[in-house]
Structure 1
Amino acid sequence: MSNNSITKEALATALKKLLEQQPLSKISVKHITDYCNISRNTFYYHFKDKYELINWMFYTDMLENVNSFNDPSKLTESFVKVCKALYAERKFYFACFQYVGQNSLFESLYEIYYELWKINIDMGYSECGFKLSESELSLMAKLKAHALVGIIKDWVDEGMHDNYMKYFEQIREILDSESLGYSILSNQRMMEKRAEEFDKNPIRKKNLKVC
């Protein structure tokens, strides 16, 4: 592990320990650096504030525990896994989710899902032979990103209990059924293209008449 990674891990551990004693709003950068005997200058070399530290902790956690986290083609599957990973560390994440301002974990989640949905939606429509405009793609990605983050926010507001896990699975099934629709439409589009190619091929049409 590099020195940078060791320093970041030390800051992350300090924040986790401090959150066991007091809310995030009461914890300052000085509290974090004093806890792990690291200078404030070193903290600001790695992170601009405690919220960026939290976002780094979240992203690192997801990459380690959800192997499909940043794979647009497995977005619905990874969503459930992300929620399970959040639940596994719910005390920490519940405390972090209490902040909803700029650079918050909610904001970071939205940005991540927005980019993943843009790629996912574009792939789905491209397979069907359709090309969305950038504004259409952006709008659809915003709608879906807001939907997923909004569901997570509802879960947090209700205490992040495990009874939501079945709900997350239902959401995955709904989103997967939409993906199945893309597949059916893609196959239909492919058959239509083959029919068009056949109609344009005079040799094939002539052979068909001979038969």
Structure 2
Amino acid sequence: MQYEVTSLNTKRLLAGSLRKFMREKSFSKITVSEICLDCGVNRKTFYYHFEDIYALLKWILDQEALKIFLDCGLHGDFKDTILFLLDYIDTNRQFLNSIYDSLGYDGLREFLYEDFIRLLSSIITNLEKQEGCLLEQNLRQFLCQFYAGALSGILKDFLKARHPGSHKDIQERISFTLETSLLSLIREKGKKVS
């Protein structure tokens, strides 16, 4: 147990250093050596915990937002998850813009894509249960990919302040679109479960 706490503390120390440097310069200009020096750890320690600086960044995103919003999405109302995500973007706009500016839209999307797929899969599962239907696996996979791309685009526009409306307005639009279109698809294409 003590080792796990120490390991988590080391990861948090490295994450804090990366975040600090990202306030000062572009993500692509930050090196593992700088992070290690800042934290007072050697490179072996860094590489013991993370494959590279991108893995550290992914860990930060998972720890700070995606794990929480996935837990909300998997166990609660996905509308709350969307609102949480919008709030997270607002609170961490500088950090996320630094990632976006360094990696581009595709790079940022790549970090978030699998988590969006899991969120959408949980939304579909909940709606299937509600309707007593199951979608064919290929259609389910297509819908997850389709809506993950749409959600990524909407959130990118929100990040870049190009999306009009309040958090509540955006949340309601996303939720309404997901719920009505997915329910319609499930009712039309789903196989009744007995």
TM-score range, shorter chain: 0.7 to 0.9
State the Cα distance separating 1:125 from its structure 2 match: 2.6
SS in 1 for 2:24: coil
Q: Indicate the SS of the match to 1:2.
A: helix
**Secondary structure of the equivalent of 1:38?**
coil
Aligned residue number for residue 40 of structure 2: 37
Q: How does 1:168-179 map to 2 (within 5 A)?
A: 168-177=167-176, 179=179
CA distance in 2, matches of 1:67, 1:165: 24
Q: Deviations over 1:56-96 (max 9, x none)?
A: 11221126875854426522321221121121122222112
CA, structure 1 residues 105+52, in 2 after alignment: closer, same or farther (shift >3 Å)?
farther
Equivalent residue runs for 1:4-153 within 5 Å: 4-62=7-65, 68-71=71-74, 73-100=76-103, 104-153=107-156
Worse overlay, 60-69 or 139-148: 60-69
What amino acid does structure 2 have at the position aligned with 1:169? K
- CA distance in 2 between counterparts of 1:124 and 1:65 reads 21
Determine the C-alpha separation between the residues in 1 that align with 2:70 and 2:25. Answer: 32
Partners of 1:112 and 1:67 lie apart in 2 by: 7
The unaligned stretches of length 5 or more in structure 1 are: 187-211
**TM-score (ref. length: structure 1):** 0.72
CA positional deviation for 1:111: 1.0
CA contact (8 A) 1:84 1:165 kept: no
Corresponding residue SS for 2:101: coil
Q: TM-score, normalised by structure 2?
A: 0.78
Larger Rg: 1
Equivalent in the alignment of 2:192:
none
Letter in 2 for 1:179: E
Displacement, 1:20?
2.2
Aligned amino acid, residue 44 of structure 1: Y
The one-letter code matched in structure 1 to 2:5 is S
State the percentage of identical aligned residues: 26
Q: Which amino acid aligns with 2:134?
A: K
State the distance in 2 between where 1:164 and 1:65 align. Answer: 26
